[in-house]
Structure 1
Amino acid sequence: MSAIGNLLWLLMGGFFMGLGWWAAGLVAVITVVGIPWAKACFVIGQFAFLPFGKEAISRKVLTQQDDVGTGGLGLLGNIVWFVFAGLWLALGHVASAVFCFITILGISFGIQHLKLAGLALAPIGQTIVSKEVARAARQQSAEAVVAELRQGR
């Protein structure tokens, strides 16, 4: 089912938004300073081409520990990203979502565009995994929080 969804997705704006992510990645590479953001652009661009069956999840939830991208430096990186590229990519996804919402059959694709718009605003500290891995990571993270809360009593 994911294959059919991904094929239709490409026709409903996914192809152009994937190219938009890759174009942002090329600009980031050219600036040299933007190389850390460029890698995120290419990974999320691939996700934007074929999003069904995958999901963006915080690396902190996935690994249950902080890293450079999930802490203060990640916040700073997301602020810089938002100013220079995030807002524009998010607006592209929102415009694509509006186009999809106009057609009744495109509503699920519009929802996916809105998820990508949210990711476009703050991609640092996120990673792309299969839906099954994301579900398992959230479950383990929740269990760890519950265990921690129980020990605190």
Structure 2
Amino acid sequence: MADLDDIKDGKDFRTDQPQQNIPFTLKGCGALDWGMQSRLSRIFNPKTGNTVMLAFDHGYFQGPTTGLERIDINIAPLFEHADVLMCTRGILRSVVPPATNKPVVLRASGANSILAELSNEAVALSMDDAVRLGNDSNLLIVFYVQIMPDDLVMQLHRF
């Protein structure tokens, strides 16, 4: 006990020294909560505010894309050179090794690109799946049109 041992440090609360508030490095993100700032700090370099994002989520709307048919062979060797990986949940589960120490941005929207407008997207990833997969952020592409499906509008409140 500080009082019994006559230790003076136990009562020195340093009231003469104000607490330092370190501003967040990303412009416009200072008011975000700690959890969001923590995830953004993994995606963006805190010193520079920049990132190199390796995006290989194109297959969901383009189908098998030349050079992206075998992501395990053509894209996986590039993982170490990127700051963050952007992919779909299927690619994350099947190709990205869990030991890859990179933040992940998961595509959370999807659409049928055959016989339909690509802008007719829907939410394709639940928040439970996103948390289970341990991603750092979700990518949700929304094409706003005046005739938006009501169910999509209702699904967007979760993001």
Q: State the TM-score, normalizing by the size of structure 2.
A: 0.29
Higher helix share: 1
Higher strand share: 2
Higher relative contact order (CA 8 A, sep 6+): 1
